[in-house]
Structure 1
Amino acid sequence: MYASYYTPDQIGQLPSEPGIYKYYDAERHLIYVGKAKNLKKRVSSYFNKQTGVDKKTRKLVSEIHYIEFTIVNTEFEALLLENTLIKENQPKYNILLRDDKSYPYICVTHERFPRVFAIRRFEPGLGTYYGPFASVKAMNNVFYLLRSLYHIRTCKYNLSEENIQKGKFKVCLEYHIGNCKGPCEGLQSEQDYNRDIEQVVHVLKGNLAQPRQYFRERMQEAAGRLEFEQAQRYKEKFELLEKYHAKSLVVNPNIADVDVFTITSDEKCAFINYLKVINGAITVTKTVEVKKKLEESDADILVLVMIEMRSRYNSQSREIISNIPIELEVEDWHISVPKIGDKRKLVELSFKNALFFKKERMSVVEDQKGKPHRVVLQLQKDLQLKNPPLRIECFDNSNIQGTNPVSAMVCFINGKPAKSEYRHYNIQTVEGPNDFASMHEVVSRRYKRLLEEKKPLPDLIVVDGGKGQLSAATDALKELGIYGQVPIIGIAKRLEELYFPEDPYPLHIDKKSESLMLLQRARDEAHRFAITHHRQKRSKAAFESQLENISGIGEVTASKLLKHFRSVQKIKEAPVEEIAKLIGKDKAQRLKETLNQGDSLTPPAMDKLPISPAEGEQA
């Protein structure tokens, strides 16, 4: 395989070979992984298409700065590599299976007199794993069947030949109640024990025909010897196996082993059902929801899920049937869309499951629309509010020793951040580090504007700070004549105390309460938003100050340059002609000469500037 880096203007140099391609943003973060039969054609299609491209794809293309590709031998190898990279890196534009539960397996150990037990974590070299099982109940049913049919030890002894001969172990209760034949004391041979393990493996693989035949033959042999009690025991085990087999949905014994995948989708999500059929019986059924990141086709989504499901459930079936055609050439795989017969009925059954799951999910989404989230209702109860706080607005201030003071307001709707409603505020009427006056100003400005625009007020106002900040915000509401119409609280950081206006005693909510966590999330988000805006403002001020130190560059010219180029670095990289269009040829020439003399004008990284204790407390 071969890997290399390219920029979007070099895509013409990509090879016309199968492989995977990776897109990186300006910070070299992996944002998308894809596969292709022809790397050059596939990657070029992202940049050449001008019409018929959805917004998400256009946004993806706008963020691509670097391209890396890996050539493989076949399209199927590309698919496997793509699936692995997506699971490892989880790029933000790739669809993800949001099903990260740890499923139980049944393990048959690689040791003398193998043990059989349930396990969730994978331990290399321990044994052979069978599963996973969709639920613990399903696994326990299989476990009960195995313990009822066969004599399997439950102890953890090292049953080496030497240990048994030395008589290191004694039989336990399992031997006395007939569940074990006592291999620990040499009462059962290794050959006889392994015959049971061989049957156990057949059951775990879903091959029930051979165990049924085994018990039928043992029953007939015992009856032929006139050992009717023994024959009865074999008969009971045979009937238990038959009963277990009847619980599986029998399709048709002539179908043998096949994997069934069906898909139905809408603009946002796809719903895929998977049926694993072994010896005519459905042994696994699973439906998953996949949220679309771009405008992926149903075939592309189905192929990814197919690889994941076959790997997860250890499917070895060569035949795959589906409700849509899949263009995937894999040796020893036969993929088809049946039109008639039993296989068509099987596809219809799978598709019915996918449709039902989709309908169920859509109904849940509809039911949840407009209904308060559980955490919101808990917050209403904890704060003793009249109405659920569906809309929460939280305020925070940020400054360093009074310089570049800013404030921020973040909004949570039904317990979740509504980033389109966030607002920044540059402090206009306050001089110096006066946190209380700053809070008074931004609260006044926010709700004066809402009143003027006749927009609804929030259900709860949260102020980051103690009594002082809360009092300042309360005074602002009183001046606007809306005090009492909207509940308002302050949250102090040190002990996570909640303050109410005109109440000298704070309210303490359980530190593990979801409602307190919601208020903390809002407070922390307001802190982050305010700090980000503050750093940007400091950065801009630092850039303008440095540019103004250049002869002939004043405040107006510096602002014009930064508004166009965004940073001093980009000004340094821009040609003189482009700068001259903004400020004239003489100023542009003088500016370039000064900047090229050295890197003395490059400002320090804003994230490395010291933050005073005041900033950390106020923001």
Structure 2
Amino acid sequence: MSNSLFETLQQDVKRLPGLPGVYRFYDEVGHILYVGKARHLKKRVSSYFQRTQLSPRIALMVGKIARYETTVTRSETEALILENNLIKELAPPFNILFRDDKSYPYVMLTGHQFPRLASYRGKVDKRNHYFGPFPNSWAVRNSVQILQKVFRLRTCEDSVFKNRSRPCLLHQIHRCSAPCVGRLSVEQYKQDVAQATRFLEGDHSRVLSELEKEMHAYSEAMEFEMAAVLRDRITDLSGVLQQQSMDTVADGEGDVDVIAVAQMEGVVCVNLAMIRGGRHLGDRAYFPKGLRTTAGELPPPTEILEAFIAQHYLEEKPADSEASPNLIPPVLILNHPLQRASDDGLELDEASPESLHDLLNAQAGKRITFLHQPQGQRRHWLAMAEGNAKIAIAKRLVETGGQLARARSLADILSLELESLEHLRIECFDISHTSGEATQASCVVYAKNVMQASEYRRFNINDITPGDDYAAMRQVLQRRYANFQELPVEKMPQVILIDGGKGQVEMARQVLSEFGMDISLIVGVAKGEGRKVGLETLIFADGRKALELGIDSAALLLVAQIRDEAHRFAITGMRAKRAKARMVSQLEEIEGIGAKRRQKLLARFGGLRGVSNATIEEIASVEGISTTLAEQIYRQLH
């Protein structure tokens, strides 16, 4: 930043109001740098443009600022909501970012007369009852299996439930009470659902006590068969609780999230452990982006925790009044206390615990408790979360160290001029088909020292001679780089890997030349004898001599890793496309299945995969499909 620009910004901030709001910093080309919140905009923003007291981390950002924007809000709480939404939407590089595309799974009890037990991902709503979220799908499956075994709730889809005439296999193995055929009343089933709900909420003693009372009541009434059923249920539940003895605690602990931040060798990890119904169900490690470490400097743990809590739990209020936010447990255990940041301070991210706490309370509809010095079992959980965070960091250091060495080796071999290995971006292309059928091309991206799955792309290749890989390569490169001039600098690759030999490389050279791109970006990967890793040859489009790096080359290991990922991504897409085309053809070939019936089948089961997975009884439940025709459809698809 020039002195004149710095002085201009210093003068501009003097005109800002002393009100709460959100500020945004931009660089000279208009890219977002940072989003922040303030209780007093003038004091907060002006603190960045002081000549002294700036830490290296903040100074690095301030040196890139060319302009800023502000939005005044009615309160600090509104500012926090707006800041959090903008961080999630814009992903500013100098904010602490916790991005995770995976949604958490829940255990769901539907709102039907006979509620259905199922695992669920996505937005929750008020029509159903949800428990969770759980850290992974294994924890949900385990909980569903327990509830099936002990409480025998139904798990079948509505289309199956409504059309049963006799109990299914799950009833025969004592995993379902068969409410579909009236084996128990609505009230009896509601009682089972209520006990299952209390079990999920951690009230194990009450559930066992109720079951024992019921068993004795049936026994005294000489209904020994029902008493035996409840005896078996008590035995199963006791066995489950005994198996969980290492993880369970006294009743009343309920749902708790344990959040621990750890730092080792410049790497930060936030570990989230989930306790549901008093049972420790596992944890998940998060590695924040946007820390911008300089000479080992890292944000304080409090700042990292506050950023995680805001981004993990807070959401925009859904427009649909029926929708409700993700479930927040009533207790959050932290390994550092949240502290209010002063408006005169120079730390980024100043979300005060008071406003953050108020927002969590409002979103959850209940009081959320923050603990940082827990006792008893909760203290043990926190120690485990801290230990797991350090283990995750150690694993990441080992993986990253090897990956960085590979990237550095490749950059050296290709003579790439990079400011940092963080700026190395590689795009790799592969073509996949089966004897010319269902041709697809894939593009995978390696950037910031990891594969960027969210940037992968597939291209359906059309209007070429079946099996013409050269034409397919030409088409995919033309479509990928037709507007390369509009790409931001960080999206422009330094290497374009082509899975193929001289022919594919020549196609790439022609396309890039037509677009006026640098052909030195092209690196072909020609397979060696037996397609073994280590025997590949790197081929260049700009006249450089081909390279045989050898099996011990770290650079070739990275090339092979990216090439294999492109091949995997292409072949899975090709197989799905081929299967879809063949299944449509199979449906069209069945006598008696016209366009209307085919449309009804696809609508009922959500697509071709659903039709293929459906049973004969489920297919026959579709309007206009007889049992005979359903059997014919099933045979054709299998």
Normalised-by-shorter TM-score class: 0.5 to 0.7
Pairing 1:346-495 to 2, within 5 Å after superposition: 346-368=381-403, 370=405, 372=406, 391-393=412-414, 416-417=424-425, 466=506, 489-491=539-541
What SS does the corresponding residue of 1:112 show, helix, strand or coil? coil
What SS does the corresponding residue of 2:539 show, helix, strand or coil? strand
Pairing 1:124-163 to 2, within 5 Å after superposition: 127-157=128-158
TM-score normalised by length of structure 2: 0.53
* 1:203 corresponding residue in structure 2: 199
What SS does the corresponding residue of 2:271 show, helix, strand or coil? strand
Deviation per CA, 1:294-341: give whole Å up to 9, x if none. Answer: 453211110121234456972231564433444412354443432866
What SS does the corresponding residue of 2:288 show, helix, strand or coil? strand
> Residues 488 and 333 (structure 1 numbering): CA distance in 2 closer, same or farther, change over 3 Å?
closer
- Asked if structure 2 preserves the Cα contact closer than 8 Å seen for 1:273 and 1:354, the reply is yes
* 1:13 corresponding residue in structure 2: 15
2:257 corresponds to 1:236? no
Give the superposed CA RMSD: 4.8
- Asked if structure 2 preserves the Cα contact closer than 8 Å seen for 1:21 and 1:33, the reply is yes
- Asked if structure 1 preserves the Cα contact closer than 8 Å seen for 2:258 and 2:382, the reply is yes
> Residues 308 and 267 (structure 1 numbering): CA distance in 2 closer, same or farther, change over 3 Å?
same
What SS does the corresponding residue of 1:291 show, helix, strand or coil? coil
What SS does the corresponding residue of 1:13 show, helix, strand or coil? coil
- Asked if structure 1 preserves the Cα contact closer than 8 Å seen for 2:261 and 2:389, the reply is yes
Deviation per CA, 1:187-245: give whole Å up to 9, x if none. Answer: 54333222222233333444434433332322333343454554343233223323333
Deviation of 1:140 (Å): 1.4
> Residues 15 and 221 (structure 1 numbering): CA distance in 2 closer, same or farther, change over 3 Å?
farther
What SS does the corresponding residue of 1:62 show, helix, strand or coil? coil
CA distance in structure 2 between the partners assigned to 1:139 and 1:237 by the alignment: 20
* 1:65 corresponding residue in structure 2: 67
* 2:36 corresponding residue in structure 1: 34
Quick one: higher RCO (CA 8 Å, sep 6+), 1 or 2? 2
- Asked if structure 2 preserves the Cα contact closer than 8 Å seen for 1:251 and 1:282, the reply is no
> Residues 19 and 188 (structure 1 numbering): CA distance in 2 closer, same or farther, change over 3 Å?
farther
Which residue of 297, 301, 308 maps to 1:298? Answer: 301
2:165 corresponds to 1:170? yes
Deviation of 1:71 (Å): 1.9
> In the alignment, residue 104 of structure 1 is paired with which amino acid?
P
> In the alignment, residue 199 of structure 1 is paired with which amino acid?
Q
- Asked if structure 1 preserves the Cα contact closer than 8 Å seen for 2:97 and 2:307, the reply is no
CA distance in structure 1 between the partners assigned to 2:254 and 2:420 by the alignment: 54
- Asked if structure 1 preserves the Cα contact closer than 8 Å seen for 2:167 and 2:180, the reply is no
> Residues 218 and 286 (structure 1 numbering): CA distance in 2 closer, same or farther, change over 3 Å?
farther
What SS does the corresponding residue of 1:352 show, helix, strand or coil? helix
* 2:272 corresponding residue in structure 1: 274
CA distance in structure 1 between the partners assigned to 2:419 and 2:49 by the alignment: 37
2:260 corresponds to 1:265? no
CA distance in structure 1 between the partners assigned to 2:421 and 2:65 by the alignment: 29
Deviation of 1:65 (Å): 0.8
Q: Which moved more, 1:317-326 or 1:131-140?
A: 317-326
* 1:193 corresponding residue in structure 2: 189
What SS does the corresponding residue of 1:63 show, helix, strand or coil? coil
- Asked if structure 2 preserves the Cα contact closer than 8 Å seen for 1:8 and 1:65, the reply is no
CA distance in structure 2 between the partners assigned to 1:252 and 1:207 by the alignment: 9
> Residues 191 and 137 (structure 1 numbering): CA distance in 2 closer, same or farther, change over 3 Å?
same
Deviation of 1:142 (Å): 1.0
- Asked if structure 2 preserves the Cα contact closer than 8 Å seen for 1:389 and 1:414, the reply is no
Deviation of 1:254 (Å): 7.0
CA distance in structure 1 between the partners assigned to 2:65 and 2:414 by the alignment: 31
Deviation of 1:19 (Å): 3.6
Which residue of 244, 247, 250 maps to 1:249? Answer: 247
* 2:107 corresponding residue in structure 1: 106
- Asked if structure 2 preserves the Cα contact closer than 8 Å seen for 1:253 and 1:281, the reply is no
- Asked if structure 1 preserves the Cα contact closer than 8 Å seen for 2:23 and 2:68, the reply is no
Deviation per CA, 1:152-207: give whole Å up to 9, x if none. Answer: 334444799xxx8xxx7623424862544444455543332222222333334444
> In the alignment, residue 363 of structure 1 is paired with which amino acid?
V
> In the alignment, residue 138 of structure 1 is paired with which amino acid?
A
- Asked if structure 2 preserves the Cα contact closer than 8 Å seen for 1:394 and 1:410, the reply is no
- Stretches of structure 2 that go unaligned for 5 or more consecutive residues are 1-7, 293-297, 315-324, 341-352, 359-366, 427-446, 448-500, 511-518, 521-536, 548-558, 568-638
CA distance in structure 1 between the partners assigned to 2:508 and 2:151 by the alignment: 74
Which residue of 262, 283, 286 maps to 1:285? Answer: 283
> In the alignment, residue 291 of structure 1 is paired with which amino acid?
K
- Stretches of structure 1 that go unaligned for 5 or more consecutive residues are 1-5, 377-387, 396-408, 420-461, 475-486, 502-511, 521-619
CA distance in structure 2 between the partners assigned to 1:150 and 1:518 by the alignment: 44
Deviation of 1:90 (Å): 1.5
- Asked if structure 2 preserves the Cα contact closer than 8 Å seen for 1:8 and 1:66, the reply is no
- Asked if structure 1 preserves the Cα contact closer than 8 Å seen for 2:96 and 2:307, the reply is no
CA distance in structure 2 between the partners assigned to 1:411 and 1:87 by the alignment: 27
> In the alignment, residue 107 of structure 2 is paired with which amino acid?
I
What SS does the corresponding residue of 1:35 show, helix, strand or coil? strand
> Residues 280 and 158 (structure 1 numbering): CA distance in 2 closer, same or farther, change over 3 Å?
closer
Deviation of 1:258 (Å): 4.5
> Residues 299 and 154 (structure 1 numbering): CA distance in 2 closer, same or farther, change over 3 Å?
closer
Pairing 1:592-607 to 2, within 5 Å after superposition: none
Percent identity between matched residues is 24
- Asked if structure 1 preserves the Cα contact closer than 8 Å seen for 2:332 and 2:368, the reply is yes
* 2:481 corresponding residue in structure 1: none
Which residue of 204, 210, 215 maps to 1:214? Answer: 210
TM-score normalised by length of structure 1: 0.55
Larger-Rg structure: 1
